[in-house]
């Protein structure tokens, strides 16, 4: 049976950021940012693991950066889609599991704030994210208990927030400078239609890099004056990181700020360290980083076939764009003032909420066309990647290209698929490979067609190879490499659930009494029954038991293993003479009872 679409208000829009994350939803046809449990719209993308491996995310976790730097993780977004593992104690955590705690906090806070249940989400990602990075975000969401209905590029989401009610056609450029990534997208918007013309960016350029420039500047001064290497003192270095971020924010509105380190060195003999940083010096330290954004802008304009004078509006997105130096650079580049219609901090989150209207059962007012963010091709016998789909090709798309055999009388060839802009395999991301049988012929005699298809299905590239002579054909769905295996994903889902209470809705079919219980996922069904008896919900009458989805719950079964979904109800009822199937514990060796149809 096909799953029904959600109501728009029950789809959570998430802006998962390197430094901070935000969330929003639709209410009364308007996108609205949701505050977290601390009453703020921005949740630090930070996770702290205590000695028992329990994770805390958000503002509370950020407070541990200085005290427990080895047990606190930040900027995890930069590691999504990689083999990076964070060692904390004896455990090694993948980026997907760490990110899942941030996403889980956002969802739980949203539920508490709005009174709604969010199990579906639309999540934004950098425009130049590879398939592997996108799949990692999707895995993290699933570990957090969220189903990703759609992923939307961050600049596209910002464009939705800007042009949601725009009546006239306009050509806009989104300049998205966040905490860890820089993206630029050019779109045509108007009357509910959003057509992405081109996208570009740099996924390792953001506010974090600006913070590092301030830190390096201060560290050099301390080493020169005090002969102390701050980077060897983890706690001191983390304190300095906090101050660098605060200094960056202050210098966006003031001409100078002070750096104060009351304790420096391993004893109290050293006096406090103080130094002043002016906005002029700060801008001198980072001007090259800002100017690096010119290349992706130029690339996007070239790909779209536009001159910068043809851009109607430039939209600034991301906290870094609050800096006067960034605003001045954009103004000089385009010879016009950037638009101030939307809040740079809120734009992407609002756009993800709007994007959720396309996935709802309510009629959407928006239509978004997107592009391939990175080129796709296959490896040829000369060791070069032959592009079949170029970057910024509009999707959905199917494209075919002819190839031939590089050796005589071979019976099969390998099709190796890569993603990226490089000419050689080591410059690109390997997505997959497969073999296809061909008619044995002299060299260069075979006619082999390879076609790529990208539809609206998330993260899937359909590859078809066909030998025209033999009629041999093979089609393969390629998903990004580097994803967690299903077993690994289930492992981390169980690990996360082990630290959370399970909320169960229970109905006594005989008395119509209802109760909601929060229990440890490791609670046995036998112990749950005992608790229900104490509450007077479950009577002592013989033959009474617990059922979920018409299946009796076995006494030895743990709550975590009953496949209880949000919205389900555990029913108390009498066993029938011909019983339904019992859900048994994985350790229960007794035969499963099956009912007749």
Spell out the domain ranges in the chain.
8-205+292-370, 207-289, 372-478, 501-583
The C-alpha atoms of residue 343 and residue 31 are separated, in whole angstroms, by 13
Instruction: Report pTM.
Output: 0.78
Task: Name the pLDDT band for 266 (thresholds 50, 70, 90).
Answer: low
The reported pLDDT for the residue numbered 587 is 47
Return the SS3 of 269: coil
Place of tokens 């079964």: 557
Beta strands in 72-181 (DSSP E): 72-74, 86-88, 91-93, 120-125, 147-153, 170-177
> Same topology for domains 372-478 and 501-583, yes or no?
no
Window from 113-117, 535-539, 585-589 with minimum mean pLDDT: 585-589
Residue 271 has pLDDT above 90, yes or no: no
Exposure b/e, 435-448, CB count within 10 A at least 16 = b? ebebbebeeeebeb
Residue 7 has pLDDT above 70, yes or no: no
C-alpha to C-alpha distances, 405 to 176, 185, 378, 438, 484, nearest whole angstrom: 45, 40, 14, 9, 35
Mean pLDDT of the chain, nearest integer: 87
Residue 4 has pLDDT above 50, yes or no: no
The reported pLDDT for the residue numbered 357 is 82
Q: Which residues contact 233 (CB under 8 A, 6 or more apart)?
A: 266
The C-alpha atoms of residue 194 and residue 191 are separated, in whole angstroms, by 9
DSSP string for 331-366:
HHHHTSPPB-SS-TTTHHHHHHHHHGGGGBSSPPS-
CATH number of 207-289: 3.90.640.10
Q: Give the domain 372-478 fold.
A: Substrate Binding Domain Of DNAk; Chain A, domain 1 (2.60.34)
The C-alpha atoms of residue 577 and residue 593 are separated, in whole angstroms, by 12
CATH number of 8-205+292-370: 3.30.420.40
Planar angle of CA 362, 21, 318, nearest 5 degrees: 95
The reported pLDDT for the residue numbered 588 is 45
User: pLDDT tens-digit profile of 300-349?
Assistant: 999 999 999 999 999 999 999 999 999 999 999 999 999 988 999 999 99
Helices 279-291 and 324-334: angle between axes, nearest 10 degrees: 50
User: pLDDT tens-digit profile of 15-30?
Assistant: 999 999 999 999 988 9
The C-alpha R_g of the chain, in whole angstroms, comes to 28
The reported pLDDT for the residue numbered 380 is 96
> In this predicted model, which residue has the larger pLDDT, 535 or 569?
569
Which CATH class for the 501-583 domain?
alpha beta
The reported pLDDT for the residue numbered 264 is 76
Mean pLDDT of all residues in 222-233: 87
C-alpha to C-alpha distances, 440 to 208, 408, 542, nearest whole angstrom: 56, 7, 74
Residue 565 has pLDDT above 80, yes or no: no
The C-alpha atoms of residue 561 and residue 502 are separated, in whole angstroms, by 11
User: pLDDT tens-digit profile of 424-434?
Assistant: 999 998 888 99
Residue 496 backbone dihedrals phi, psi, to 5 degrees: -65, -45
The reported pLDDT for the residue numbered 268 is 58
Residue 512 has pLDDT above 60, yes or no: yes
The C-alpha atoms of residue 491 and residue 4 are separated, in whole angstroms, by 29
The reported pLDDT for the residue numbered 482 is 53
- In the chain, % of residues over pLDDT 70: 90
Task: Record the tokens describing residue 567, joined without a space.
Answer: 């919205």
The reported pLDDT for the residue numbered 407 is 95
Length of the chain measured in residues = 597
Beta strands in 238-393 (DSSP E): 256-261, 273-278, 313-317, 367-371, 376-379, 385-389
């Amino acid at each position: 049976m096909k799953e029904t679409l959600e109501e728009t208000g029950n789809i959570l829009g998430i802006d998962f950021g390197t430094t901070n994350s935000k969330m929003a939803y639709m209410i009364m046809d308007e996108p609205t940012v949701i505050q977290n449990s601390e009453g703020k719209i921005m949740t630090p993308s930070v996770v702290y693991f205590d000695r028992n491996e329990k994770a805390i995310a958000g503002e509370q976790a950020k407070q541990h950066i200085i005290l427990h730097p080895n047990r606190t993780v930040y900027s995890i977004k930069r590691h999504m889609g990689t083999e990076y593992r964070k060692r904390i104690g004896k455990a090694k955590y993948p980026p997907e599991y760490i990110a899942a705690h941030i996403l889980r906090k956002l969802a739980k806070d949203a539920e508490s704030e709005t009174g709604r249940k969010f199990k579906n989400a639309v999540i934004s990602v950098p425009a130049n994210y590879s398939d592997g990075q996108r799949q990692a975000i999707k895995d993290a969401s699933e570990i957090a208990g969220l189903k990703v209905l759609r992923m939307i590029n961050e600049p596209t989401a910002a464009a939705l927030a800007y042009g949601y009610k725009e009546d006239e056609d306009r050509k806009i450029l989104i300049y998205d400078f966040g905490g860890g990534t820089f993206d630029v997208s050019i779109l045509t918007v108007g009357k509910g239609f959003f057509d992405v013309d081109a996208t570009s960016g740099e996924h390792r350029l953001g506010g974090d890099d600006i913070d590092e420039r301030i830190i390096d500047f201060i560290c050099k001064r301390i080493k020169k004056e005090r002969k102390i290497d701050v980077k060897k003192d983890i706690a001191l270095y983390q304190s300095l990181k906090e101050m660098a971020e605060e200094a960056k924010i202050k210098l966006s509105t003031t001409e100078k700020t002070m750096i104060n380190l009351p304790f420096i060195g391993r004893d109290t003999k050293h006096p406090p360290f103080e130094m002043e940083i002016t906005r002029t010096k700060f801008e001198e330290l980072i001007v090259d980083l800002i100017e690096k954004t010119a290349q992706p802008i130029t690339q996007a304009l070239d790909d779209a076939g536009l001159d910068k004078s043809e851009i109607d509006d430039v939209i600034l997105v991301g906290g870094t764009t609050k800096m006067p130096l960034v605003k001045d650079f954009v103004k000089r580049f385009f010879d016009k003032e950037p638009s101030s219609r939307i809040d740079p901090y809120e734009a992407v989150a609002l756009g993800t909420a709007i994007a959720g209207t396309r996935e709802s059962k309510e009629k959407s007012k928006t239509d978004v066309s997107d592009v391939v963010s990175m080129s796709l091709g296959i490896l040829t016998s000369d060791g070069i990647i032959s592009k079949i789909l170029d970057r910024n090709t509009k999707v959905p798309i199917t494209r075919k290209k002819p190839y031939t055999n590089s050796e005589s009388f071979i019976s099969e060839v390998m099709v190796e698929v890569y993603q990226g802009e490089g000419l050689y395999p080591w410059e690109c991301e390997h997505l997959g490979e497969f073999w296809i049988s061909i008619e044995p012929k002299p060299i260069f005699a075979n006619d082999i067609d390879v076609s790529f298809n990208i539809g609206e299905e998330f993260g899937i590239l359909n590859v078809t190879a066909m030998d025209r002579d033999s009629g041999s054909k093979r089609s393969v769905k390629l998903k990004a490499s580097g994803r967690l295996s299903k077993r690994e994903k289930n492992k981390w889902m169980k690990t996360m659930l082990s630290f959370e209470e399970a909320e169960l809705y229970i109905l006594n079919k005989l008395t119509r009494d209802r109760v909601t219980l929060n229990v440890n996922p490791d609670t046995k069904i036998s112990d749950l029954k005992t608790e229900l008896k104490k509450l007077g919900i479950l009577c002592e009458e013989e033959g009474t038991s617990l059922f979920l989805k018409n299946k009796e719950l076995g006494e030895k079964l743990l709550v975590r293993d009953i496949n209880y979904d949000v919205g389900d109800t555990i029913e108390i009822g009498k066993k029938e003479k011909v019983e339904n199937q019992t859900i048994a514990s994985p350790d229960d060796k007794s035969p499963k009872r099956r009912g007749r149809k």
